[in-house]
Amino acid sequence: MSILVYIFKKAEINLKKEFNSKCYEKTDPVSVLSYQSYDEKTAKAALQRLLSPLGILEKISEGSRVVIKANLVSAMKPDEAATTHPTLLVALCEMLIERGCEVVVGDSPGGLYNSVFVGRVYNATGMHAVERVGARLNSDFSQREAEFPEGKVLHSFTYTGYLDNADLIINFAKLKSHGMMGMSCAAKNMFGTVPGVIKPEYHFRFPRYEDFADMIVDLDEYFHPILSIADAVVGMEGNGPTAGTPRQIGCLLASHNPHNLDLLASKILGFAREELPILNAAYLRGMTPGSPEELEVIGSTDGLCLSDFERVVERRSLAFAGDGKSPIKRLFSKIAGAILKTRPVLKKSLCVGCGICRDICPAKAIVIKNKKAVIDRKSCIRCFCCQEFCPKSAMKVHRTALASLFHRKKR
């Protein structure tokens, strides 16, 4: 081995140690850039302006194998705003390949984790565009088992085997509303490391929102992507993360710390940190500040913050009311949570009785009767898998009348 190759390999090993052994710090800066459209001519320059101040790509050595973990939740077209836009992925792949990297783009959508099912998702989401610049789409659909004794709640789990071939992982998320967690962005995107058909099992293992949130934070800690980026040019509001409405947000965000990125994203969408279980879990574990004002922000959110972003839920701040030490505040939180809690409800006119919701429900709380889905309320754990993966958007996140009144008063 020549001395030059040895130096490159040594630098690569040191980079992996630097990022993978370092905990996410509250002080990790977040870069934000106003960017209004998916213009192929300007996307690469926009990403360069976004990422250059962080200095992370500059540390990646030639020959590094980089996996870009995209959000490919379902076989949906790019303009439906549920998945990471291919124009941005192409630009990032080109930047990495110019540095001499081997690049693979992948994810595990909801459903079968095999070449046929995922291939349909690649086709629908426009992912083959990355092949034109020399990147590859993941074709390894093996599964691996991980032991993670350091995790808070997730001590063992199954994950997508192609990640073992990565020297470094870049997490490229989509900013969306989310039926269970309120918001889906950088931290939540790493749930895609769990094979699609196994995801419902994790909802059943962690039915409490707090535990599910800690599970997501554990996944981020285990895989520890060196960089998280959020496609917030056009996000999704309303009945997200797959059945909502595209919403122009007009920006890109990036950070080494996915929780800091999410904290700034929460400000843009109008959420408080306490309203988002994953973000709150990261805060309680000392991984992110308590408010966006404490972040080191490169760029400006002026003109980006939305006052009318349509949320899925309104109960988050009540679910985490108080400091958890006062018995009265804990009692109030439980009562308020019970009164204001949301649930999946079927819009019968849209249901075709396909049975996907029944098959994916981790609690086995859904049956098909007379070609319509029927939910057993006593068994439902409100994970909203049925809402997320219904191909006809027949499952809706439903607020109680009191929650709707609270929503209007807050607006």
Sign of CA dihedral 89, 356, 162, 241: positive
Percent of the chain, pLDDT > 70? 84
Mean pLDDT of 381-405: 73
Across the strands, what pairs with 254? 31, 229
Q: Residue 67: phi, psi to the nearest 5?
A: -100, 125
State the Cα torsion 281-398-183-153 to the nearest 10°: 30
Cα–Cα distance between 90 and 44 in angstroms, integer?
A: 8
pLDDT band per the 50, 70, 90 thresholds, residue 200: confident
Cα–Cα distance between 355 and 68 in angstroms, integer?
A: 32
Give me Rg for the CA atoms of the chain. Answer: 21
The pLDDT assigned to 18 comes to: 54
pLDDT tens digits, 255-305: 999 999 999 999 999 999 999 999 999 999 999 999 999 999 999 999 999
Q: Report whether pLDDT(319) > 70.
A: no
Mean pLDDT of 391-395: 84
pLDDT band per the 50, 70, 90 thresholds, residue 400: low
Cα–Cα distance between 63 and 348 in angstroms, integer?
A: 54
How is residue 110 written in tokens?
A: 């909801």
Mean pLDDT of 199-216: 91
The pLDDT assigned to 399 comes to: 60
State the residue for tokens 């196994």: 198
* Cα 96 to the center of its chain, rounded Å: 22
pLDDT tens digits, 41-79: 999 999 999 999 999 999 999 999 999 999 999 999 999
Q: Report whether pLDDT(197) > 90.
A: no
* Poorest-pLDDT segment among 4-13, 137-146, 179-188, 378-387: 4-13
Mean pLDDT of 370-375: 91
Q: How far is CA 341 from CA 46, 105, 150, 229, 314, in A?
A: 40, 37, 32, 31, 8
Q: Residue 384: phi, psi to the nearest 5?
A: 65, 25
**Mean of the per-residue pLDDT values of the chain:** 87
Domains annotated for the chain, with CATH where assigned, are 19-298 (3.40.50.11440), 339-410 (3.30.70.20)
Q: 258-269 and 209-223 are packed helices; what angle lies between their axes, rounded to 10 degrees? A: 130
How is residue 231 written in tokens?
A: 């496609």
Q: Report whether pLDDT(21) > 70.
A: no
Cα–Cα distance between 94 and 380 in angstroms, integer?
A: 45
* CB hemisphere CA count around 34 (13 angstroms): 7
Mean pLDDT of 111-129: 96
In terms of average pLDDT, the best of 1-15, 95-109, 370-384 is 95-109
Mean pLDDT of 317-321: 41
The pLDDT assigned to 345 comes to: 87
pLDDT band per the 50, 70, 90 thresholds, residue 337: low
